[in-house]
Chain A
């Protein structure tokens, strides 16, 4: 059984995000008013072949810790598709 997960990786609060700042500026240039802070990040859609949902989730969290996120500067969230 394929378990599908979506991993979202975002910069931690307080970590400067110059790319987010540039996007924020570009949105203003396009005429979108009232745009506050923009922070950019990454999304990973991962399929794991497993019958054990809890184990798959634990594995994906380990993947985040070991590779998908750099926990010095990034937070991650794992969402398993229903």
Chain B
């Protein structure tokens, strides 16, 4: 069971992600620097959170144009499991691997707290460890998490069951349309989400609700 973590300057949740993947798989993930175009064959590629390139231009915009992202796109086309968290989600959108955009939080404030997430579709590799409708706890920490997509895209996402995480009622921290917190690609192998499941995987975190996501994606028992 091997994993890889994409590294870009300005990311700051890479160590949390590496620790989580090491804890869950028992093996340290490969790390892939932004200029590398060869990603080893792994069971899961993760783009972690942070502020790549200082959010210059738009969050994720510069990182999405680095050579490593072409390699991630190629792997995703071949069916590899790819997951972007927070800035990683922003990068996947800017790279065109998922539809829509993440804008400044509607409150204009950086939000750092725990929210409740509803599992809206438990029939994806990423969410199979949960039950549909289940409410889990998950931390968020972002300034640009306000998901937006045009009506046609939203209809498609909702109709195809590609909204997999929604902020539970009263929990939307950023103004995201339809309370969207995480979406998957049409084939279900690419996930983007704003909350940080890697920060809720062991007792010391105060909970383990994020663990089933990684276990599901890797085909492990939670």
Contacts and interface: CB of A to CB of B under 8 A. Distances in A.
A18 B100 CA distance: 18
A72 B100 contact: yes
A16 B108 CA distance: 12
Contacts of B58: 70
Contact of A16 (B94, B150, B175): B175
- Give the interface residue-count category, chain B: 20 to 34
B61 A70 contact: yes
B22 interface: no
- Main SS of the interface on chain B? loop
Contacts, number: 37
Given A16-B175, A67-B57, A67-B61, A72 B106 contact: no
Residue from the set A15, A72, A73 with the largest chain B CB neighbour count within 10 Å: A72
| Most A CB within 10 A of own CB, among B57, B100, B106 | B57
Contacts of A16: 103, 106, 146, 148, 175
Most buried by B among A16, A19, A68: A16
A61 B150 CA distance: 23
Interface in A13-37: 15-16, 18-19, 22
B97 to A, nearest CB: 13
Given A72-B100, A73-B101, A67 B106 contact: no
Given A15-B103, A19-B108, 13 more contacts: A15-B148, A16-B146, A18-B103, A18-B146, A67-B57, A67-B65, A68-B57, A70-B94, A70-B101, A72-B99, A72-B148, A72-B150, A73-B148
Interface of B: 57-58, 61, 65, 93-94, 99-101, 103-108, 146, 148-150, 175
